[in-house]
Chain A
Amino acid sequence: EVQLVESGGDLAQPGGSLRLSCAASGFTFSSYSMNWVRQAPGKGLEWVSYITGSGTTIRYADSVKGRFTVSRDNAKNSLELQMNRLRDDDTAVYYCARDRSGVPFDQWGQGTRVTVSS
């Protein structure tokens, strides 16, 4: 069974940093690209970041470019999102989602909540 479990969400101050993790199991992690998607309270879904299975191709939404860094450790089946210079509008539930070839978000984690507030 495919499982994606996010962790690391917390309360952070504006300008601060957080590191999110996504533990994957039930599939060959290194064979799949992965995404981060977020959802602000009461709002819709927003794609945040994409990384290929090898980690060689990485993309970011304009809203987080230069502040967030995605990485992965295929030996540990883990996806990470380093979030720096946090802003109030980064407050959201952050989901990791598997990217199967031709199907961008075929499996989702349960999400981890990030609150940015002073």
Chain B
Amino acid sequence: SYELTQPPSVSLSPGQTARITCSGDALSQQFIYWYQQKPGQAPVLLIFKDRERPSGIPDRFSGSTAGTTATLTISGVQTDDEADYYCQSAGTSSVYVFGSGTKVTVL
């Protein structure tokens, strides 16, 4: 089955830039979406259609793609950005597929 691969974790200090990758064989032909999930909360849409931000999402969050890899960039990371981040795209045998998630720790 189709999989989206993310690094399990990223650790950084406040003010640094976090880059979270998401790799998938079909990503060059599909849109990618990014979600933030804080402990005990529902996910929140961060980025849609590769690089678009919903209203209310700070411009510190940005998305980009290059071939079969998508990247979520968090510029000037804050302690409030500690969360799990998931990428998502259309699936092959399933309608939608999520990445395995990346835990961002701000030390």
| Known contacts A102-B49, A104-B88, A108-B44; A44/B93 CB under 8 A | no
Partner of A44 from the list B33, B41, B101 (CB cut-off 8 Å) is B101
Q: For residue B37, which residues in chain A have a CB less than 8 angstroms away from its CB?
A: 45
A residues neighboring B (CB under 8 Å): 35, 37, 44-47, 50, 59, 61-62, 95, 102-111
| Known contacts A105-B35, A105-B88, A106-B54; A45/B94 CB under 8 A | no
Cα(A102)–Cα(B89), bound, Å: 11
Q: Which of B12-55 contact A (CB under 8 A)?
A: 31, 33, 35, 37, 41-45, 48-49, 54
Which of chain B's residues has its CB closest to A93's CB? B42
B residues neighboring A (CB under 8 Å): 1, 31, 33, 35, 37, 41-45, 48-49, 54, 84, 86, 88, 91, 93-101
Q: For residue B43, which residues in chain A have a CB less than 8 angstroms away from its CB?
A: 45, 95, 105, 108
| Known contacts A44-B86, A44-B101; A105/B45 CB under 8 A | yes
Contact A95–B101 (Cβ < 8 Å): no
Contact A95–B96 (Cβ < 8 Å): no
Q: For residue B97, which residues in chain A have a CB less than 8 angstroms away from its CB?
A: 47
Cα(A45)–Cα(B96), bound, Å: 11
Contact B95–A59 (Cβ < 8 Å): yes
Q: For residue B91, which residues in chain A have a CB less than 8 angstroms away from its CB?
A: 47
Query: In whole Å, how far is B65's beta carbon from the nearest beta carbon of chain A?
Result: 16
Contact B48–A50 (Cβ < 8 Å): no
Q: For residue A35, which residues in chain B have a CB less than 8 angstroms away from its CB?
A: 96
14 sampled A-B residue pairs with Cβ under 8 A:
A35-B96, A44-B98, A47-B94, A47-B97, A50-B95, A50-B96, A62-B93, A95-B42, A103-B48, A105-B35, A105-B45, A106-B54, A108-B44, A111-B42
| Known contacts A47-B96, A50-B95; A106/B101 CB under 8 A | no
Beyond A104-B96, A106-B54, 10 additional pairs, beta carbon < 8 A:
A44-B86, A44-B99, A45-B86, A47-B95, A62-B1, A62-B93, A102-B31, A105-B45, A105-B88, A111-B42
